[in-house]
Amino acid sequence: MRKASNILYIFSLISIFAFLYSCNSENNNVKNNKLNNKDTVQIKEIKSKKIGPRLSVKEKKQKFIDLMLPIILSVKEEYKQNLDWVKSIEKKKKLSKVEKERLNALMKEFRAKDIKDLEERLVTHPTSIVLAQASIESAWGTSRFFKEANNIFGVWSFNPNDPRIPTKGSRNGKKIYLYKYKSLRESIYDYFKLLATRDVFEQFRKERLKTQDPFVLVNYLDKYSEQGQKYVETLKNQIRHNNFTRYDRYSLEPTPHLEKRNPVKSINHLH
């Protein structure tokens, strides 16, 4: 029995050292401003999104950022790869059947009028803005909708056939529902698509073709919330106070094939 216990003890030590080594390697990746798609997969597979009640406010915020950042970068990389692909086939005289199908699918998904319009819609914006909106809308990952529905950005659902959960509020006597996503990644993908397709964000899309300055771009997100200009100021303060701009230089090392996702149904959103 003692021999078996000793073997178990040695095995446990080896496992602990291996875990610590992997954590250190992951931290080095973040410090070098480069993340691999594997980091995204590992984080996405975590079942519990609890930030931890015993952590300090600063630690809870960092945990939220550590959870969100790789997924945000992964989604932005997918948009970039789609954009690069569209640009690569733009001047082709003849497209293959597969190319036509892919292009038509993207045109339909992003409600694009033509290829140029599609390219503009596939452009993404600074990570600092995404983190600011995510932290505000989800209360740093503590909201019920974040925990129960993977809904990071407060996206509403008006379609009874959508997967969704009810809120405690109502509008004009009607119950308010929020969309329920299968994963955080799906929520982030749909957030970028929402800003890429809704008419109220047309000016925002035009401005992000001119600049990637988050403090300029957030001025055009007043329609995202019923708070209007107050929401814009809240975003600026959130970015500034948490130094979110330091994440704008982070990028994800591209891989030949990004994770396949399930398309999200078109939904309406304004709150």
User: 175 has which bridge partners?
Assistant: 170
Question: Residue ranges of the alpha helices (H) in 111-218?
Answer: 115-122, 127-137, 144-149, 184-197, 202-208, 214-217
Higher-confidence position of 112 and 265: 112
The predicted pLDDT at position 53 comes to: 62
234 assigned to some structural domain: yes
23 assigned to some structural domain: no
Instruction: Return the CATH number at 138.
Output: 1.10.530.10
Q: What is the mean pLDDT of residues 90-118?
A: 96
Range of the domain at 194: 33-252
Higher-confidence position of 1 and 93: 93
Q: What percent of the chain has pLDDT over 70?
A: 74
Burial class (CB within 10 angstroms; exposed 0-12, middle 13-18, buried 19+) of 256? exposed
- Answer whether residue 1 shows pLDDT above 50: no
- Answer whether residue 120 shows pLDDT above 70: yes
pLDDT digits (tens, 9 = 90+) for 198-251: 999 999 999 999 999 999 999 999 999 999 999 999 999 999 999 999 999 998
* Overall domain count for the chain: 1
104 assigned to some structural domain: yes
152 assigned to some structural domain: yes
42 assigned to some structural domain: yes
266 assigned to some structural domain: no
CA-CA-CA-CA torsion for 236, 153, 26, 241, nearest 10 degrees? 20
Query: Which is it for strands 174-179 and 156-157: parallel, antiparallel or unpaired?
Result: antiparallel
Give the integer Cα–Cα distance in Å for 205 and 48.
35
> What are the tokens at 35?
């993340």
Nearest residue to 86 via CA among 119, 126, 54: 119
8 assigned to some structural domain: no
- Answer whether residue 37 shows pLDDT above 60: no
Nearest residue to 177 via CA among 198, 199, 162: 162
What single-letter DSSP state applies at residue 93? S
